């Protein structure tokens, strides 16, 4: 008979496998596309820290109205 603890253990194991697949899928996605949906290279996001004065231009402005 399957008891609740055993069920939990199998559930836990399955979830782990799924999350591992998701994580590797994400790695593959990042390194194959290199750019996000807005066409910004992921690496250029470092500039959000390096150019962070209030009048620096954002890497990808939230709205087109921004200067």
The residues of the shown chain that bind another protein, judged by CB under 8 A, are 5, 9, 12, 16, 19, 23, 26-27, 30-31, 36, 38, 40, 42-50, 52, 54-56, 58-62, 66
Residue 60 and residue 38 in contact, taking contact as beta carbons nearer than 8 Å:
yes
Minimum distance from residue 2 beta carbon to another protein (Å): 14
Q: Which is nearer to another protein, 1 or 5 (CB)?
A: 5
DSSP single-letter state for residue 49: H
For 26, half-sphere exposure in the C-beta direction (CA atoms, 13 angstrom radius) is: 6
The token pair at 61 is: 């402005």
Q: Which is nearer to another protein, 1 or 62 (CB)?
A: 62
């Amino acid at each position: 008979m399957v008891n609740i603890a055993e069920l939990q253990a199998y559930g836990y194991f399955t979830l782990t496998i799924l999350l591992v697949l998701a994580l590797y899928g994400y790695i593959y996605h990042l390194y194959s596309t290199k750019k996000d949906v807005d066409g910004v290279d992921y690496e250029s996001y470092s500039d959000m820290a390096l150019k962070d004065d209030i009048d620096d231009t954002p890497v990808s402005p939230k709205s087109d109205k921004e200067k």
